[in-house]
Amino acid sequence: MRQQIQEALRLSKADYTEIRLEEKESTRVVFQGKDLENIGSVLDKGGIVRSLIKNKGWGVATFNNLEDLANKVEQAYQCALVASSPEPIELVEVEPVDTTIPANLERDFRDVSLAEKKSLAERYNEVMRGYSERIIDTYAVYSDSLSRVILANSQGTYIETERPSVAVVAAAIARDGDNIQQAYETDAGPFGFEYVLEKDELALKAARQAVDLLSARPVKGGVYPVVLDPLLAGVFIHEAFGHLSESDFVYENPKAQEMMVLGRRFGKDLLHVYDDGSISGLRGTTLYDDEGTPGRRNWLIKDGVLVGRLHSRETAAKMGEQPSGNARAINYRFPPIVRMTNTAIDNGATPFEEMIKDIKLGIYACDAYGGQTQLENFSFSSGYAYMIRDGQIAEMVKDVILAGNLFSTLENIDAIGNDFKWAFTSGGCGKGNQYPLPVGMGAPHIRIQNVTIGGE
């Protein structure tokens, strides 16, 4: 295969050519209510060629049949010939790499029988169903996948990577009269089958949360000091801030360019934010991105000041900055675009008890349940939340929606916890029509003053 790929690249007439081939095996088991809803394995195989003619633009060819790569390279070249980029496209220089990155699985899920995977999902489903008579519906999923990706380009890069993923999802719906509440928990990572064993507690938590929410009162709308748990803080920094750091967006959007000026103050001195694809064992780990650029730690906010952003080779060249290793594609059907890897608020110094002890009336918001962002405005629903009264965690409340302006919210972060945690949630990030891309999110608890909470 290597020989065919290199021969096809050698014949290319473009200024730059890249071939990415992928073979992905995946398995999924879904229980809904008392029924097995879906079970099966899929093998997906294909490739993409991307060609660049500097004064014209990119040409792309995608395919499922991996024969005759030279012809696919020619197709991409023909597309590039008729492209009409408004300005010449340059790629920032990246050292060619020749390497293999195998998956290192303790127990390879490809060697586990479908029956065992089924009984695992069934067990988590039964844990939820057995929790309470008020649980009226459940959804339990086991899934795994392993992608083998070969990336080669005309500059000498040849990288073979195995990307594993294993996940469980447990969702429960509880009912009391016409009061219906739901909760879900997930756990996922680039690991073997061993990772998703013994997750009864996760299923139990989803069921318990849904039932507890039945007796929670809706939160009273207003402006509160809010403490976010690490999961919600991670989602917040990814959604509300991280996407604005993606340079393809910044470059194309004049409003974003105005907002994202390096050196601009975004928060107090205690706020540090980074994106890092080089940490192994996380959902967004990208030792080499889909252009062959090595992942690294990219500081985005340091001491409260905007200091960096995320790049592909093209955006780095356009903006005269360093490549950051953030060109990622969800699969072989798409060219890479600028994406986050593992994005985090760096650990701070404040213990949780310290953070809440001076709050007379506030909210402790946990877990995210969807949200929206539009440039600097965001709104998020927390999965569940509690009131904070006189420095103590008090009763559970529901329907907590945090809304606000990114800049004033970041500025209002006045305490950062010392309990940093990476989230290992399933699902992923969406951009354009590339969804779900596995990403990592991390944060400690954070406290934000003056947050507008929607509610009754």
In the numeric block, the tokens 């529901």 are attached to 398
- Count of chain residues binding Zn ion (CB under 5 A): 1
Nearest Cα neighbor of 311 from 324, 301, 300, 298 is 324
Distances (CA, A) of 437 to 104, 289, 330, 434: 21, 13, 6, 7
Between 226 and 429, name the residue whose CB sits nearer to Zn ion: 429
Question: What is the Cα Rg of the chain in Å?
Answer: 24
Between 40 and 430, name the residue whose CB sits nearer to Zn ion: 430
- How many whole angstroms separate alpha carbon 61 and alpha carbon 172? 43
Q: At closest approach, how far in Å is the CB of 148 from Zn ion? A: 25
Q: Which helix (H) or strand (E) holds 11?
A: helix 2-11
Q: At closest approach, how far in Å is the CB of 239 from Zn ion? A: 6
Stretch that binds Zn ion, among 56-64, 325-333, 394-402, 426-434 (CB under 5 A): 426-434
Stretch that binds Zn ion, among 127-135, 170-178, 278-286, 422-430 (CB under 5 A): 422-430
Between 301 and 359, name the residue whose CB sits nearer to Zn ion: 301
Give 333-402 as a DSSP string: TS--EE--SEEEEPP-SB-HHHHHTT-SEEEEEEEEEEEEEETTEEEEEEEEEEEEETTEEEEEEE--EE
Between 149 and 429, name the residue whose CB sits nearer to Zn ion: 429
Residues 6+ apart with CB under 8 A from 75: 49, 59, 61
Instruction: Kindly state the tokens that stand for 270.
Output: 């205690």
Q: At closest approach, how far in Å is the CB of 310 from Zn ion? A: 12
Stretch that binds Zn ion, among 152-160, 252-260, 425-433, 446-454 (CB under 5 A): 425-433
Q: At closest approach, how far in Å is the CB of 385 from Zn ion? A: 22
Between 117 and 339, name the residue whose CB sits nearer to Zn ion: 339
Amino acid identity, position 194? E
Between 27 and 434, name the residue whose CB sits nearer to Zn ion: 434
Pairing of strands 446-454, 222-228: antiparallel
Q: Could you give the string, one character per residue 379-418, with x where binding to Zn ion holds by CB under 5 A and - elsewhere?
A: ----------------------------------------
Kindly state whether residue 204 participates in binding Zn ion, applying the rule CB under 5 A: no
Half-sphere exposure of 263 (CA within 13 A, CB side): 1
Between 365 and 429, name the residue whose CB sits nearer to Zn ion: 429
Q: At closest approach, how far in Å is the CB of 186 from Zn ion? A: 16
- How many whole angstroms separate alpha carbon 395 and alpha carbon 456? 16
- How many whole angstroms separate alpha carbon 355 and alpha carbon 45? 50
Between 204 and 240, name the residue whose CB sits nearer to Zn ion: 240
Kindly state whether residue 429 participates in binding Zn ion, applying the rule CB under 5 A: yes
Stretch that binds Zn ion, among 12-20, 264-272, 349-357, 429-437 (CB under 5 A): 429-437
In the bound complex, which residue of the shown chain has the CB atom lying closest to Zn ion? 429
Q: Rounded to an integer, what is the distance from CA 256 to the centroid of its chain?
A: 21
Pairing of strands 361-374, 434-437: unpaired
Stretch that binds Zn ion, among 33-41, 70-78, 262-270, 421-429 (CB under 5 A): 421-429
Between 211 and 429, name the residue whose CB sits nearer to Zn ion: 429
Q: At closest approach, how far in Å is the CB of 342 from Zn ion? A: 12
Q: 89 with 103: CB under 8 angstroms?
A: no
Between 142 and 380, name the residue whose CB sits nearer to Zn ion: 380
Kindly state whether residue 226 participates in binding Zn ion, applying the rule CB under 5 A: no
Q: At closest approach, how far in Å is the CB of 295 from Zn ion? A: 17
Q: At closest approach, how far in Å is the CB of 437 from Zn ion? A: 8
- How many whole angstroms separate alpha carbon 322 and alpha carbon 113? 46
Q: At closest approach, how far in Å is the CB of 343 from Zn ion? A: 9
- How many whole angstroms separate alpha carbon 63 and alpha carbon 67? 10
Which spans of this chain sit near Zn ion (rule: CB under 5 A)? 429
